[in-house]
Amino acid sequence: MNKRALGNTGMSVSPLIFGANVFGWTADKTRSFELLDRFTEAGFETIDTADMYSTWAPGNQGGESETIIGEWMKTRGNRDRIILITKVGLEMGPGQKGLSAAWIERAVENSLRRLQTDYIDLYLSHIFDGDVPLEETLAAYERLLNAGKIRSVGASNHSAEQLAHALKVAAENGLPRYEVLQPEYNLYDRDSYEGALRDLAIAEGLGVITYYSLASGFLTGKYRSTHDLQKSARGGGVKSYLNERGLKILAALDKVAANHAAAPAEVALAWLMAREGVTAPIASATSLDQLDSLIRSTQLLLSDEDMACLNQSSAM
């Protein structure tokens, strides 16, 4: 499998990253272990999670995903073969959010404990925090880097202006800079990344790992009417895609998929892997069949004609 350099982190990743937001939510511990086993047995190594996954699920407090991953790595004895991504910043509870040095230093220890490891490969600012000076946030990361508790830092949910400012502050103060960007990006949601943010990421040589790579499942083709929204717990997040443009995109995915005897989700991920300014998409699965399909996307090579068809269908 051809791995790709993750920006200037010194790490290389496979072209698909497993999104562990489903662990402890729509995938229980047993299923999560099965998925992680299949993913790594297929030659993949990178797992993306966050401290607050999955606070939104009834009865959860956050940390469920990290806990499951930690138990799996301990059971399998494979920590040294895994590239582990987690995040800090979104609310875990009262007073437990943001990017202050005090909270980062508490949050990383909590994540390390749940993950049952002494280091995190990539630690991301989950959000931009306008209430905390960037110098404070980056200095906190510098201390964690020097202590060996994290290997690299990056940012999620940052605009081009916010990211550019963060890079400038790092350079001017001799502080560690964000080497990886995690934006929302998929065949439907293109505007927020394409343009200034992508141009900046390319110019600065950042690694880019995309989230919502399948538009909350819409690009699997599973949801084609309001009736279909009842098919899973994620259905409610797909309703906004059910419009003329969304259905046009699904038609293009169907066309390209038929030409390759592939599934729409496989084509949607292959499109991302072929885009300039993308290192690897993040995608999640709750069944082995779904995961096998995601894995097949890494072997799918789209032609120029395929790419043009998909680009035209999703043009704004």
The residues annotated with a catalytic role in the active site are 53
Helix (H, G, I), strand (E, B) or coil at 4: strand
Beta-strand ranges (E) seen in the chain are 4-5, 12-13, 17-19, 46-48, 83-88, 122-125, 153-156, 180-182, 207-210, 280-283
Q: What residues pair up with 252 in beta bridges, in sequence order?
A: none
> What is the C-alpha to C-alpha distance for residues 185 and 228, in angstroms, rounded to an integer?
23
Instruction: Return the amino acid letter for 219.
Output: L
| Number of residues that this document lists for the chain | 316
Give the number of other Cβ atoms within 10 Å of residue 40's Cβ: 18
Token readout for 141 is: 């990361």
Instruction: Please classify residue 77 by burial: count the beta carbons closer than 10 Å to its beta carbon, then call 0-12 exposed, 13-18 middle and 19+ buried.
Output: exposed
DSSP 8-state assignment for residue 96: B
Q: Which residue in 112, 43, 19 sits closest to 295, CA to CA?
A: 43
